[in-house]
Amino acid sequence: MVKVSDFGLAKVQDAGIDSLTTSGALLGTPHYMSPEQAQDAKRVDARTDVYSLGMVLFHALTGAPAFSRSGSFMAFLVGQASVPAVQQAAPWVPPDIARAVHAALLRTPDLRWPNLGELELGLTMAAGFEMANAPLYKASLAPISQATRAEAAPKADPPSHWEDLLRR
């Protein structure tokens, strides 16, 4: 079982401090922050977590965050850039996996997976039930071989709505 946790926003209880943050402060790790969280943290819901997990998956599949250049995250926030295609940085990623991840990274919350359970189901469907439920052994966590890196999976068309993945 893989567990990812981030305590960067954990609140200190009984520290004798009324608030550790100020109104309007940007909280979170920009590489994994949803657009709506960056714009107004009071508007976030479960789809923000979907986006953040999508960014973690992007990083895990490609070996780098989607927005690693200086200013690229800000360009995304103001609508001048989009999330790069997973297969652009990792062409060996199967198209169904790439599409499921991109459905988590859609800019508009109403268009992305509605919650983590639906994202999990989408990834299970993309990977196949047997693969998604196979035991994970430390030995299988070896780096991707050069031969695999040289392969290119069929290109995925990024979805425009998470439900597009159910209409195939």
Confidence of residue 10 (pLDDT cuts 50, 70, 90): very low
d(CA 44, CA 165): 24
Euclidean distance between CA atoms 166 and 148, whole angstroms:
29
Domain 31-135+149-166 superfamily per CATH: Transferase(Phosphotransferase) domain 1 (1.10.510.10)
What does DSSP assign to residue 137? -
- Domain assignments of the chain as residue spans, ordered by start: 31-135+149-166
Largest CA distance in the chain: 57
What is the reported pTM? Answer: 0.75
What pLDDT score was predicted for residue 91?
Answer: 92
Position 142 confidence tier, pLDDT thresholds 50, 70, 90:
confident
Residue 55: which of 84, 32, 77, 88 has the closest Cα? 32
- Distant-in-sequence, close-in-space partners of 9: CB < 8 Å, separation ≥ 6: 27, 28
Task: Grade residue 65 by pLDDT with cuts at 50, 70 and 90.
Answer: confident
Beta carbons of 47 and 113 less than 8 angstroms apart = yes
- The CA dihedral of 80, 83, 89, 94, to the nearest 10 degrees, is -150
24: left (phi over 0), alpha (psi -120 to 50) or beta: left
